[in-house]
Chain A
Amino acid sequence: EAQVTQNPRYLITVTGKKLTVTCSQNMNHEYMSWYRQDPGLGLRQIYYSMNVEVTDKGDVPEGYKVSRKEKRNFPLILESPSPNQTSLYFCASSFAAAYGYTFGSGTRLTVV
């Protein structure tokens, strides 16, 4: 089944403890990106990648890192999480621009 898989689905962590949210797609898509969803602010792009080893900042990149060492994986790294990074995170992938995006099931992160 074609899908984008995120892990974990739920995570509660403490301020400053490094964490990684994984994202993997099995559709051989070139484009991958991360979004966060917050009440009143909607969904905003954090980072995106157009191919292996090609990444760029989205609208809200502060406090996040990404890497794209293989086409299928695009992990989101929070080196020192803070409470304002408490959010619902989504990974998405697409064959290319203008081809439509498939979203993962989301990761609900709470930083205390």
Chain B
Amino acid sequence: GIQVEQSPPDLILQEGANSTLRCNFSDSVNNLQWFHQNPWGQLINLFYIPSGTKQNGRLSATTVATERYSLLYISSSQTTDSGVYFCAVEGTGTASKLTFGTGTRLQVTL
């Protein structure tokens, strides 16, 4: 099946710093989403981005489907950004199933 790798696995930032999270995937995808799992366990959908670039406030994402990677940018980080960020893909051969990466655990300190 499709493989999804995220880096870095852990990240500690001071409030106000910027960061880039990376997601590599091993095959063609119909769907790619970025999620934030907050400390209460909820999965919050950040972006649906199978290709191209999107921005939402301090967050933006870029997916280069031909090179099989996606980047999530967090600017001016805040303590509320802490949690785990997941990349999830729906491969062209596995419709109706999201395959998740192992996540990047982000801690933002004061």
Contacts and interface: CB of A to CB of B under 8 A. Distances in A.
Do A and B interact?
yes
Contact of B100 (A42, A48, A50, A97): A42
A33 B43 contact: no
Contacts of B41: 88, 105-106, 108
A100 B100 contact: no
A42 B33 contact: no
Nearest to B32: A100
Contact of B30 (A59, A92, A97, A105): A97
A58 B1 CA distance: 13
Contacts of B90: 97-98
B43 A48 contact: no
A60 B106 CA distance: 28
- The 4 A-B pairs with the shortest beta carbon distances in the complex, nearest first, are A98-B30, A100-B48, A97-B95, A103-B43
